[in-house]
Every structure is written in structure tokens, then in C-alpha cells.
Structure 1
Amino acid sequence: MGINDQIALETALAARAVAVEAQLRLLLDERALSGEIGRPARLVAAMHHGVLNGGKRLRPFLVMESAALFSADGEAAARVAAALECVHCYSLIHDDLPAMDDDDLRRGQPTVHKAFDEATAILAGDALLTLAFDILASDATALAPERRLALVQALSRAAGVGGMAGGQMLDLDAERNPPDEAGIVRLQAMKTGALIRFACEAGAIVAGAPPQDRERLAEFGSAIGLAFQLADDLLDLTADSGQMGKRTGKDAAAGKATLVELHGPQWARRQLHGLVGQAQALLEPYGARAALLAAAASFVANRRH
């Protein structure tokens, strides 16, 4: 990725982050919506802590940029991006709990169960997950009903038993029964890759793009999802907690097998190069319109934190 591409991507990431955070602040207001009875202030504060705490907002960026590829409505795409970020942040809140990965630090700040308490953290995650589907179903997400339904179904499958939640279960099992290489790939495709795949596919759904474009963007998401996890495992092995804003070395400490641990850092770097090429090749039919998505593939593979 050239310096101009990097500057353009960083600018776009920042702009998309501002847009989605503005949506999240509106959605996480303490005022109850029609049909709600009330919103407890402590629960809303915990949700804020888990969501509005920085981060690159990569998944929202992928939703919004994939939608822009087809000239889709930007406001609707921002709401879908916010829904996805609610699911992603719920998963981080629950993942950090003592019963799961038991982390005290997230994005350089105390995790939700440390800043509040475990019960509040569980409820904050539950509420964020539920809110995500409220956002997608709402008339305020100004899309045709069939597109909203498609988004609800796709996100349900990416986040649920056959996607992220199932992947988290496999990850917990891996502490007792280390998987083989195929098992590691399956685990990571579910735990990490499923939401990234959805992020890219969602843009095509928002736009009402043809099925072949939806599948192409989903394949692009699968490639960069695997690259994201490989890069994360590499950083877990080589970076320090200060760089990452969270505890590193935890997979090795827990005895979890990763592809980096199986094959080594040099193999992982070669794989990352190949995955970037694969992802960018999928975008070739879109030409210059996909320049930022192509740059994002390189960014995911080469990130330093």
C-alpha cells in the first residue's frame, strides 16, 4: 500500500468512525423509545463504556464502504454499521468476562466488568445484542423491508450458533482439546471471520446489489477475516500490551493452538501476503471505486496494533 493510499484510508477510516459513533450516541440515549418502559442509567452507562471507547471501527467502515461501492444510501448504511458495532462490542464485553478470556483491559481502558461489575457487563452485552436487531428492523433504517429482513437474517447467522457464538464455544473447547489445523481455521472463521464477512456482504444487501455481487463481497470479507485473525495472532505473539491496548501472549499462556504457533511468524507473513492478493483480486471488477476496500485489505494484514 503506497503512502497516498494509506493517507486516503486513514482519512476514510476516521470519517466513517465519526459517522458511526454519532449514530451510536443517538441510539444509546437514556430516553426510552416507543414500546420501552425505561432505560436504567447504569446499564446505559455500561453500554457506553463498552461501545464508545475508541477503536478503529473497522467493521463499520467495511459496511459503509461496501455500500458506497454500489452508491447505496449513506444514512441507512451508517445505521447498519452501528448495528454491527453493537454486536461486535457485545461480544468483546462478554469475551472479557472472567468465565471467558478474563481480561482487565480493552482498548487501553478497564473492561466493562472491571469498570462496573460482572452482572452489569453481562446485561450490557445482552442489551447491545438486542439493540442491534432493533436498529435493523426499525423504519428509521430507510431500506425496503426485504432488505432489512435479509440483514437481520444474515447478521443472526453471522453472530449466532453457526457463527461468532459457536466460534467462541470452539475457542473455549480448544483450551481442553487443542484442534488440528482444519479445526483452527474453522474456529477462526466463525469467531472472528463471520462478522467481518457480514460487514462486507451487508453493504451489498443495503444497496440491493445482485446476488453475484453479494457473494463476491462476502468472499472478500472471508479473505480479510482470515487475514485479520492471522495478524492478530502474530501481534499476540510479537507485540506488547502497551501497543495493543489489551493483554498479549494470552493464547500461549492458555495453551491455545493458533496457525502462527503451528507454522511460525514467517509462514504467517507469507499467508497474509497471499490473502491480501486474493482479497484485492476479488475487487478487480469494480476498478477504482474499490480502492479504499483494497487498501483496507492491506491495512488489516499489516496492522501494528
Structure 2
Amino acid sequence: MVHEGQISLQSFLLGLGILSYFLVTCGLWSPRLGVAEEWLQDHPWVYCGCFFASVNAVLALAFRGKSWQIAVRGCFLGTACGLGVMVSVLCSSSYHVFGWYMVVLTLFHYSEYITTAIGNPATLSLDSYLLNHSVAYGLAAVASWVEFFIERHFLPEMKTLWYLSTFGILVCLWGEIIRKAAMLTAKTNFNHIVQTERQKDHELVTWGAYSMFRHPSYVGWFWWSIGTQLILVNPICTIAYALASWSFFYERIYFEEITLIKFFGEKYLDYQKKVGTGLPFIRGYQYVRRVRQESD
């Protein structure tokens, strides 16, 4: 793995060390900690704040420049993932699913970076974390949090539908498997940014995940996004995410298929006939028609 990936992994694990709270308060240290241990059991979030400040101070001393930026993001995601575990264990039952959601969300963003570091390190950058994906993505996330807390306030029992949240986790896992398989299959042919010019080493990938879906990375993200809202038991955002994701990917796939047809010509058209996009109600023939119409 490239050096940047190693820094990110080390920092993520360091942030995940926030789970040391359970070791500190489990009683193994008595009577050494004594009253302090009992106090920490009643104030877990104070421990979390002190831990996060401490590890960031360590990172500031250990790294400089771009390496620090990589490390601080990896540590943040590791810490947030650990916090998700703590929320699901320490908070009241109606908050547990939000903890599960935090774990799923942070693992998605971190895995985007580390998978890029493994499969296509040449394109690795801070943007590979996808933390600054877009304004729309950020607003969608905030909207889902707002819905969760409003519904949790008025209908707390609604957020304890474990079977629905568990199904959401499975949907997210399915989406993640598809997306990461696509990234590792395509390797240097995968890029988070749609390419408008064909690179010398750019080839048409039709095996692995691409033998099942023409756009497996989009398929994975589509189902993952819906799964996150099922975890939170957010009925409004589940529907909104499905519609917004479908609309976004419809236009994204249209634009991408135009470039792929220009890059690979008949070879891509043959592939298009054999393999579907993988997303509901998004086929291939309409793109060919639109491309030919625009060409004329």
C-alpha cells in the first residue's frame, strides 16, 4: 500500500482507539483508578472529548502538510466510527440505530479512501474520502439527521424497529460490496470524477462486477444510500433518497455513456446490449438514441 494509505490506516485505527473507554471503565483497573473510574462511567462524552483532543495533538506533532491532512481526516472517521459504537451501547434504545448509522457512514467514507489507495493510488487525494462530495450530499445528510431527531422526539418507539434497521444494514452491506468490487475490478480505470478524455491506459472493463452491471459503482452507492435511511427508519428520506439518487444517476449515466461510446464505439455498444446498467428503469437504448440525435 502507498505511504498515504498507510498514514490513513494508522490514523483511522488511532481514532478508533476511543473505544478504549470500555477498557478503562470495565473494572480491570480497580482499585488503581477508583473514584476516577466511577466518574468516567457517568461522563463518557468527557472521555471522548479528551481522547479526541489528545490524539489530534499527537497527529499535529507527528505529521506536517498533506500528511497531516490525510491523518486528521482518517482519525476523524475512526473516532466517529467508535462514537457510533458507543452511542449504540450507552444511549437509550431509541438512539441505537443512529449509532449503527454512524458506523456505516464513517466506514463508507473511509473505505472509499483506502480502496482507492489499493486499487488506483495514482488518483489518490484528500477528495478520495468523499467528505466534501457536494453541497447536495451534505444537505441530504443533514436532512436525514433532522428527520431522525424530530421523529425520535415525537415517536421514539418508531426508532426501535430493529428488523427494519437490520435490513437497512444488509442493504448497505450489499451496496458496499458491489461498489468496492467495482473499484477493485476497474483499478486504474476507476475514477471518482467522470473522465471526458480517454487516457492511454484506459480500457473497457467488462469482467467481474462489470459483467453483472454496466455501472456497478453507481448501483452500489444507490442501494447504500437507501440502506442508510432504512437503518435510521426515516420514511420520508428513504423515499427522497431513492428519487434523488435515481435522478442524479440517470443524468450521470447518460453523460458517462456518451463519453464511453465516443471512447470505445461499437465495442461499448455491444457491451451495452449484453449488460444492463443495474439501476431500475435506466436502460441503454435511450442513450444511444440521444447520442445519435445529438450527433445528427
Q: Normalising by structure 2, what TM-score? A: 0.37
Q: Normalising by structure 1, what TM-score? A: 0.36
Question: Quick one: higher RCO (CA 8 Å, sep 6+), 1 or 2?
Answer: 1
